[in-house]
Amino acid sequence: MEVPPLVVDRGAPEPLAVQVASGLRAAAARGVLAAGARLPSTRELARLLGTSRTVTAAAYDQLLAEGWVAARRGVGTFVVGLPAAPRGGERVVRGAGGPGRPRGAGGEEVLGGAAGEDLLDLRAGAPCTEALDRTAWRRAWRAAGGRPPDHLPDPRGDGAFRAAVAEHLLRHRGLPAGPDDVTATTGTSAAVAEVAALLPRGARVAVEDPGYRRSTGALRAAGLVPVPVPVDDDGLVVDAVPPGVAAVVCTPAHQFPTGGRLPVARRAQLVARARAEGLLVLEDDYDGELRYDVAPLPLLASLGPDVVVHLGTTSKTVSPTLGAGWLVAPEELRHRLLAARTEVGARPPRAGQRVLAELAASGDLARHLRRLRRELVARRALVLAAVEAAGHRAQGGAAGAHVVVPLPSREEEEDVVARARSASVALGGLAESCLASDRAGVVVGWAAPRRSDLERGLERLVAALRPT
Ligand SMILES: Cc1ncc(COP(=O)(O)O)c(C=O)c1O
């Protein structure tokens, strides 16, 4: 039951019932009372407000007549929509399915089903939640909830989670790490921010260009200076990393967003430079578990455990809902990171970690990963065929859940993104990921939509990609 804050003023000229009705209407318009919320009974609300029940019953009658609340006999009165015509100045927060396109903190449109019924969301970065077996998901949350609460403020994270991650790293990424080598994080971007805070303020840090802008944002927020380094079809051009940087942030398994896989020789070269020049390498392995017909390459962390911080996340393989990621760092850095957490009492929340541990323990995680790969392979084939049908060649599709379609100019990129947008297809342009480079193209992802929507909607992608 939801009781929004309501004030009734007996001295005001408006009748009390009108005041109660407008208070509830305003609460719904502000989103305080969302669709599905149950209102208190007229008796309960009268008691809370110190009015007679006649007042609250009259207010409810008015709202029922307006149609955005509904009474279910014997159950209660529920919000079923949004009140019509909010008065001037009231901000309407639209729920799922509303015509507005919700935006995230970074100004980007929020991923997921809330952006309009027909929207085919082909932006990179979302997980494939359709592949997640809901029964397994519920079972894991139930099992996690069955574990008694405790008060151990372990800044390293949950022990069962760290053990599950160690097993996962060995099995899927070939990295021999024990549970004590694993530190829980709340995700990769947050982990970049934590590591960045340990570097001297003002230090220069090499980042891939194009690259993941959240990493660049985390570095800037920590007072560091990102230095763009070009990438080619194979990923980071290690030779182009300038001398004097304190760290390098990179995505060797699947360069984001251009998709290159850093060859072994460049990996070895990067680790050798890190050792010789005393720089730290952050290996963002955001979708390293997802690979198609290509052999795995050794992680930077296995080539240089003394100079590499390996960062993993459940955001792409399971769901960002978990807020669970991990890092494996050189010992001295790990101690500094844990000391910094302890200093301020920060610790990654353990609920999502426990759910992942349960998914791993039951075998559901392994089943899910197999199923996810099968699903993504099938979707990838559909997208590659669509890109080809439009007369283009996709790049960077050996891993992950997106490709880049290079275009001759930024104008063309903007045109394609706009044409797609007007056909309700959401695409990212390369411009979003560029710092100094001026590459042009669009990034096409296939994890977010439902498979059936993807199958039905790809024609619209083909049309948007076709030269006019
Ligand atoms: C390159 C890259 N790194 C990291 C992440 C995000 O990881 P997390 O959700 O754990 O911060 C993403 C997600 O889009 C990504 O594309």
pLDDT of residue 110: 44
Gap from CA of 457 to ligand 1 centroid (Å): 26
Which of 207, 261, 284 for a ligand 1 pocket mutation test, highest count of atoms within 8 Å of Cβ? 284
pLDDT in tens, 282-317: 999 999 889 887 888 999 999 999 999 999 999 999
- Residue 114 above 50 pLDDT? no
Instruction: Let me know if residue 227 belongs to a domain.
Output: yes
Indicate whether 259 and 380 sit together in one domain.
Answer: no
- Count of CB atoms situated within 10 Å of the CB of 89: 5
Terminal C-alpha separation, the chain: 55
Compute the average pLDDT of residues 261-267. Answer: 97
| Distance from C-alpha of 365 to C-alpha of 370, rounded to nearest angstrom | 9
Instruction: Let me know if residue 36 belongs to a domain.
Output: yes
pLDDT of residue 85: 55
Supply the residue whose CA is at minimum distance from atom 3 of ligand 1: 286
pLDDT in tens, 320-333: 999 999 999 999 99
| Distance from C-alpha of 413 to C-alpha of 431, rounded to nearest angstrom | 8
| pLDDT, greater one: 445 or 103 | 445
Domain containing residue 311: CATH number: 3.40.640.10
Indicate whether 308 and 424 sit together in one domain.
Answer: no
Indicate whether 74 and 152 sit together in one domain.
Answer: no
pLDDT in tens, 196-250: 999 999 999 999 999 999 999 999 999 999 999 999 999 999 999 999 999 999 9
Instruction: Let me know if residue 106 belongs to a domain.
Output: no
Place of tokens 């996340």: 313
Indicate whether 122 and 88 sit together in one domain.
Answer: no
> Is residue 459 very low, low, confident or very high in pLDDT (cuts 50, 70, 90)?
very high
Indicate whether 266 and 149 sit together in one domain.
Answer: yes
Instruction: Let me know if residue 108 belongs to a domain.
Output: no
| Distance from C-alpha of 202 to C-alpha of 328, rounded to nearest angstrom | 25
Cα dihedral 105/106/112/113 (nearest 10): 70
Task: State both tokens at 145.
Answer: 């909830």
Gap from CA of 310 to ligand 1 centroid (Å): 13
Which of 129, 185, 207, 212 for a ligand 1 pocket mutation test, highest count of atoms within 8 Å of Cβ? 212
> Is residue 34 very low, low, confident or very high in pLDDT (cuts 50, 70, 90)?
confident
Whether 188 lines ligand 1, by a CB cut-off of 6 Å, is yes
| Distance from C-alpha of 166 to C-alpha of 367, rounded to nearest angstrom | 18
Percent of the chain with pLDDT over 90: 76
Supply the residue whose CA is at minimum distance from atom 2 of ligand 1: 286
pLDDT in tens, 138-161: 999 999 999 988 877 799 999 999
Q: What is the average pLDDT value for the chain, to the nearest integer?
A: 90
Compute the average pLDDT of residues 442-459. Answer: 96
| Distance from C-alpha of 30 to C-alpha of 355, rounded to nearest angstrom | 33
Place of tokens 């719904």: 28
Q: In whole angstroms, how large is the CA radius of gyration of the chain?
A: 26
Domain containing residue 81: CATH number: 1.10.10.10
Query: Domain range for residue 123?
Result: 113-131+366-465
Indicate whether 69 and 182 sit together in one domain.
Answer: no
What is the Cα 452 distance to its own chain's centre? 22
| Distance from C-alpha of 186 to C-alpha of 189, rounded to nearest angstrom | 8
Indicate whether 177 and 281 sit together in one domain.
Answer: yes
Indicate whether 458 and 327 sit together in one domain.
Answer: no
Q: Looking only at Cα atoms, what is the longest distance across the chain?
A: 81
pLDDT of residue 29: 83
Strands in 233-273 per DSSP E: 235-236, 247-250
Which of 214, 283, 322 for a ligand 1 pocket mutation test, highest count of atoms within 8 Å of Cβ? 214
Q: Evaluate the omega torsion of the peptide bond into residue 252 and state whether it is cis, within 30 degrees of 0.
A: no
Q: Which amino acid is at 397?
A: G
Q: Which amino acid is at 417?
A: V
Number of structural domains the chain divides into: 3
Indicate whether 139 and 87 sit together in one domain.
Answer: no
User: Which pTM does this prediction carry?
Assistant: 0.79
- Residue 109 above 60 pLDDT? no
Whether 326 lines ligand 1, by a CB cut-off of 6 Å, is no
Compute the average pLDDT of residues 47-54. Answer: 90
Q: Which amino acid is at 436?
A: A
Nearest alpha carbon to residue 204 among 165, 153, 241, 152: 241
Indicate whether 214 and 257 sit together in one domain.
Answer: yes
Domain boundary residue, one of 93, 122, 152: 93
Task: Pick the atom of ligand 1 nearest to 126's CA.
Answer: 14
Q: Which amino acid is at 339?
A: A
pLDDT in tens, 394-439: 999 989 999 999 999 999 999 999 999 999 999 999 999 999 999 9
Whether 251 lines ligand 1, by a CB cut-off of 6 Å, is yes
> Is residue 270 very low, low, confident or very high in pLDDT (cuts 50, 70, 90)?
very high
Are 246 and 189 within 8 A, CB to CB?
no
